Structure 1
Amino acid sequence: MSITKMFPLFVLCAVILYPSSTTAEPILDVNGEPVQNGGSSYYMVPRIWALGGGVALDKIGNEHCPMSVVQQPSEVSNGIPLKISSMARSRFVPEGRVQISFAYGPKCGPTPPVWTLSRGPQGYLVKVTNAELADKNGYFVIEEGSTSSSQNDQFTYKLSFCYDSDECETIGIIDGHRGKRLLGVTNTPFEFVLVKAQSSSST
């Protein structure tokens, strides 16, 4: 095959294999800096400081390993840092479809600890588990949350879980067993800001 004939085929393969860049607005951390695509780690903490701490992992029900994503009850706890990745060919994460995983997790859990949606006693909850064990097939979406004249609200986001049918459900806080605050499908979104972690460690 001549080089002239091969070139259009190469271009077609490149378009199929590599997602194009996006014009969506980049997700910004609480300091107004773009969130790095799969790079730095960030804490996910509530928009309003007095409404508890950041997200972390805990054992719910008969779990033998911390697999459920929860919000820490104390405002002074930022939780566990996480990484946010996008399929977009961009150095920074644009609003829209994302993959979320904790920067580290317990040794008894999956590696990497990627967020999925699975059924629990309180409904569909955000868990870390192998993708093939998830009860709901789809993906998470991060988009702009509440806006007001407050500067912090410029960097507020909310989370949803969407299916291939483009139907999406809101991810918020569910009051669970023994007062634990679980992330799961609900009507009221969990609005958050992202705080860049200075360093990461493993447990």
Structure 2
Amino acid sequence: MKVAATMFQILPLFFLSLLILNTQPLLAAEPEPEPVVDKQGNPLEPGVGYYAWPLWADNGGLTLGRTRNKTCPLDIIRDPSKIGTPIEFHVADSDLGYIPTLTDLTVEMPILGSRCQEPKVWRLLKVGSGFWFLSTGGVAGNLVSKFKIERLAGEHAYEIYSFKFCPSVPGVLCAPVGTYEDADGTKVMAIGDDIETYYVRFQKASSTLAQKKNQDLSSV
């Protein structure tokens, strides 16, 4: 697979080796892709904003925040005190009118008023040995910016999903996204050892909720 040159300006060459060494083989008999649906049962649309709320509340969704040294780039976090930030999904097939499961996606949180000016496209960012944060500054199409949405198995789990970093490239890391609690208590989205899968439901963002969201992020 040809990886865009931009990626090598962002990450050292050994990062790809770490991704390949920390592998989990892709299953040969994966389920067929299907439309991802929101809480109302409607398929998610490309380029439309959706909140990713935890199963137990209509609040505390995913948003952006400063972690580690409290500097840019912004990382993907959970903040129980805020409604969250609308997330947009994009698929390579521009003719597809919905977001499918188990398909490489570009994930973006295009917010206004952020002090960090890097693109708000998700990417995997190496933090420690065998440990990665979900961060921003990604580039659509780059290996570290390919994420998938997977539905929880079971007849009563129709609208319950999780995120995975699992590019459709043989021999590359494939792992679910979960929550890591930082030293200051910040819940950062990450993949790595001992991180449990974080399950969500999607809610289409209305203009009223989007206005509240922009107010919540005014200090980021």
Confirm or deny that 1:61 pairs with 2:68.
yes
Q: Secondary structure at the match of 2:41?
A: coil
Unaligned runs of 5+ in 2: 1-31
Q: Deviations over 1:34-92 (max 9, x none)?
A: 10012x21101112229x71001111121423611001133xx3211110111133111
Aligned pairs (5 A) from 1:20-169: 24-38=33-47, 40-49=48-57, 53-65=60-72, 67-74=74-81, 77-88=82-93, 89-95=95-101, 96-104=103-111, 106-111=114-119, 113-120=120-127, 123-131=131-139, 137=144, 139-147=146-154, 149=156, 153-163=157-167, 164-165=169-170, 167-169=173-175
Unaligned runs of 5+ in 1: 1-22
Number of residue pairs the alignment of both structures matches: 171
Query: Percent of counterpart pairs with the same letter?
Result: 21
User: What residue identity is the alignment partner of 1:197?
Assistant: A
RMSD: 2.6
TM-score normalised by the chain length of structure 2: 0.69
Give the Cα–Cα distance (whole angstroms) in 1 for the partners of residues 128 and 117 of structure 2.
Answer: 20
Give the Cα–Cα distance (whole angstroms) in 1 for the partners of residues 99 and 87 of structure 2.
Answer: 13
Give the Cα–Cα distance (whole angstroms) in 2 for the partners of residues 124 and 49 of structure 1.
Answer: 26
Closer/same/farther in 2, CA of residues 146 and 94 from structure 1, 3 Å limit: same
Give the Cα–Cα distance (whole angstroms) in 2 for the partners of residues 130 and 55 of structure 1.
Answer: 17
Larger radius of gyration: 1
CA contact (8 A) 1:146 1:157 kept: no
CA contact (8 A) 1:44 1:78 kept: no
Aligned match of 1:15: none
